[in-house]
């Protein structure tokens, strides 16, 4: 169910004509650890007729974001975090999965979706945390990012009489961002990346990130920020309700490697947000989107900036991204342990830093100081 303030603007429910959803069924015997189980359910979705954010219906296009029941599993337990009340914020937690999706759309509309189109009306996405799609009338352009392997980049900008940026401008930013983060942290691991500019999103400041596909307003872009989420959220998952700074703060830091600085770089951090980087969404929900931005996004950027030279901080983050021993859903400890190449009490040996000869001591210092900033 999606609410704006107290009004319900969308709800989905199991299809009453279908059998009882498997989620509600009990198996007669407990499953052993590591044993597979099959669950299925049927559901129907009602799209908002007028305005929506994750979901849009009506007009000449639709957008389906966060539109199906996710498996809310954090790697060891169900993620029962409450949804956030800040419209543009995220509070989802989900493991990666393979998606095989069949789409039937009205003639004349084009579909852009996560992953890649493998046949008429059929899309597949591998090892992603979510799946999204849009259908509409788009001006399309494609290009290739070298990360260094080729990634096919597709940009679709909705045809609209209103103001909009050129598809070429979106494409240039998307390719530059993919290549920059691939060099900084690790190569983008999927074969496709799609950026969709939509006409109904003029009031959002950034965009809406989903694995391998992000939405932007048709008239503006912050491809650097939304593309950074392909690393911090999509590739390295986190509980977005409990640790929003692990996706938003780190994406804001990465963004500055492309844009030079985040938006409102010199803004004053209000007292309710100051020194609250590590707070969960339940804290930010009590404030407003501006205080959330300043507290979790901009303040994280400043904290990272204060830790040492940029190459050292990026080296620490590279270890965080690369660490093969990180849990399925990293928490704040993970980043200190990953950045710190010392063995930790859990036995993790850390991970070799590809640039250790250039910043051997840096990550250790960064890890220690990070721990002070976001305990």
* Footprint of Zn ion (CB under 5 A): 248, 251
Decide whether 214 or 351 has the Cβ nearer to Zn ion. Answer: 214
Q: What's the closest the beta carbon of residue 137 comes to Zn ion, in angstroms? A: 27
Decide whether 201 or 337 has the Cβ nearer to Zn ion. Answer: 201
Decide whether 234 or 341 has the Cβ nearer to Zn ion. Answer: 234
Decide whether 251 or 313 has the Cβ nearer to Zn ion. Answer: 251
> Phi-psi region for residue 221, left (φ > 0), alpha (ψ -120 to 50) or beta?
beta
Q: What's the closest the beta carbon of residue 229 comes to Zn ion, in angstroms? A: 6
Instruction: List the Cα angle 261/305/331 in 5-degree steps.
Output: 105
**Tokens found for residue 354:** 């590809």
Q: What's the closest the beta carbon of residue 351 comes to Zn ion, in angstroms? A: 25
DSSP for 344-362, written as a single string: PTT-------TTHHHHSSH
Q: Which residues contact 233 (CB under 8 A, 6 or more apart)?
A: 90, 129, 209, 240, 247, 251
Distance CA 59, CA 289 (A): 28
Q: What's the closest the beta carbon of residue 143 comes to Zn ion, in angstroms? A: 23
Distance CA 268, CA 253 (A): 18
Residues forming beta bridges with residue 133, ordered by sequence position: 64, 113
Decide whether 251 or 370 has the Cβ nearer to Zn ion. Answer: 251
Q: What's the closest the beta carbon of residue 340 comes to Zn ion, in angstroms? A: 26
Distance CA 276, CA 283 (A): 9
Decide whether 136 or 206 has the Cβ nearer to Zn ion. Answer: 206
Closest CA to 39 of 73, 10, 1: 73
153 alpha-carbon distance from chain centroid: 17
Distance CA 248, CA 301 (A): 10
Decide whether 251 or 367 has the Cβ nearer to Zn ion. Answer: 251
**Tokens found for residue 108:** 């004349």
Q: What's the closest the beta carbon of residue 230 comes to Zn ion, in angstroms? A: 11
CA distances from 307 to 84, 96, 371 (A): 30, 32, 11
Decide whether 74 or 247 has the Cβ nearer to Zn ion. Answer: 247
Is residue 167 a contact partner of residue 133, using CB atoms and an 8 Å limit? no
Q: What's the closest the beta carbon of residue 82 comes to Zn ion, in angstroms? A: 20
Decide whether 221 or 248 has the Cβ nearer to Zn ion. Answer: 248
Q: Which residues contact 313 (CB under 8 A, 6 or more apart)?
A: 253, 304, 305, 307, 362, 366
Closest CA to 322 of 357, 363, 354, 369: 354
Q: What's the closest the beta carbon of residue 120 comes to Zn ion, in angstroms? A: 34
Q: What's the closest the beta carbon of residue 357 comes to Zn ion, in angstroms? A: 33
Closest CA to 52 of 221, 208, 232: 208
């Amino acid at each position: 169910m999606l609410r704006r303030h107290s009004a319900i603007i969308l709800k989905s429910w199991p299809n009453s004509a279908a059998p009882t959803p498997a989620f509600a069924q009990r198996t007669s015997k407990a499953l052993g650890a590591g044993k597979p189980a099959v669950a299925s359910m049927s559901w129907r979705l009602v799209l908002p007729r007028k305005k929506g954010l994750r979901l849009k219906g009506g007009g000449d296009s639709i957008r389906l974001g966060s539109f199906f029941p996710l498996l809310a599993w954090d790697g060891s337990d169900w993620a029962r975090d409450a949804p956030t009340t800040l419209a543009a914020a995220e509070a989802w937690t989900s493991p990666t999965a393979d998606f095989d999706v069949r789409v039937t759309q009205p003639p004349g509309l084009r579909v852009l979706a996560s992953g890649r189109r493998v046949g008429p009306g059929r899309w597949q996405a591998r090892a992603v945390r979510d799946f999204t799609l849009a259908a509409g009338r788009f001006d399309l352009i494609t290009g290739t990012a070298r990360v260094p392997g080729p990634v096919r980049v597709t940009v679709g900008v909705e045809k609209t009489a209103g103001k909009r940026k050129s598809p070429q401008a979106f494409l240039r930013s998307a390719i530059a961002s993919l290549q920059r983060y691939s060099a900084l942290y690790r190569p983008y691991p999927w074969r496709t990346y799609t950026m969709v500019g939509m006409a109904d999103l003029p009031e959002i400041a950034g965009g809406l990130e989903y694995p391998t596909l992000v939405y932007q307003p048709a008239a503006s872009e912050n491809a650097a920020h939304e593309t950074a989420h392909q690393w911090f959220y999509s590739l390295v998952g986190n509980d977005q309700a409990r640790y929003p700074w692990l996706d938003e703060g780190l994406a804001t830091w990465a963004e500055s490697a492309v844009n030079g600085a985040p938006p409102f770089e010199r803004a004053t951090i209000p007292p309710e947000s100051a020194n609250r980087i590590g707070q969960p969404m339940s804290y930010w929900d009590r404030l407003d989107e501006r205080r959330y931005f300043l507290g979790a996004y901009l303040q994280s950027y400043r904290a990272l900036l204060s830790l040492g030279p940029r190459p050292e901080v990026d080296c620490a983050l590279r270890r965080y991204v690369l660490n093969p021993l990180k849990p399925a859903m990293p928490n704040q400890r993970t980043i200190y342990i990953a950045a710190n190449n010392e063995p930790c009490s859990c036995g993790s040996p850390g991970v070799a830093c590809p640039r250790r000869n250039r910043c051997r001591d840096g990550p250790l210092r960064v890890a220690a100081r990070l721990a002070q900033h976001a305990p």
